[in-house]
Amino acid sequence: LDSIVEHTIGTYELILIIDACSDATEDVVLRWLERQGDSVNSICRSLIIQSLTPLFECSADNIGFTLARANYCLEIQADMIMTETGYNQSLLRPFQLRDDVIGVSGRSCSGLYGDRAVGRTGILIEHPYDPSLSAKTFYVHETCIRGPLMLDRRKLEDLGFLDEQNFFLDNKIGRAHV
């Protein structure tokens, strides 16, 4: 949360989905928000949603996307740390350049129908990034994976949000759907 506040440029919503945590995550988040006080005046709205039964990643994301008011949603997982000031503006740039973009990943994308990949993908996630790839270049493929993930909220809604039944990184470990 500190890295998001420190590196996000502009006004934004903060929607936190606490997915069946048994480690007092909600209390930690509430204390963090209290400590922020007026220093987090970039947050125009904050919501905390807590589920007592496991939703898993895809369903939790859809709740956040449904509740969001913005045109673009950023999905940032709890284990991610934002390190580049203005990362959100960098992720927004492809949407401004092309009208056919639905999602942009800050880490990787891949083609569904070939073996070329950018960054870390699928079962090869333990492999290092390709050093020949430029951080200032946008790579266009059929899919984008791993966050931070920015999505065009209207296009996502038109698609019926994320597919919760066939999302292979959810609670269905070992079963991939194409």
Tens place of pLDDT for every residue, the chain, 178 residues? 999 999 999 999 999 999 988 888 989 998 998 888 766 668 888 899 999 998 888 899 999 999 999 999 999 988 889 999 999 999 999 999 999 999 998 876 666 555 555 555 555 555 566 667 777 777 777 776 677 999 999 999 999 998 888 765 544 444 444 3
| Alpha carbon 31 to chain centroid, angstroms | 23
Q: E strands within the chain? A: 12-19, 43-51, 72-75, 103-105, 108-110, 117-118, 143-145, 149-152
**CA–CA dist 123, 114 (Å, integer):** 15
**CA–CA dist 6, 16 (Å, integer):** 17
HSE-CB at 6 with a 13 A cutoff on CA atoms is 7
Give residue 74's region: left, alpha or beta (phi > 0; psi -120 to 50): beta
Of 68, 51, 1, give the one whose Cα is nearest residue 29: 1
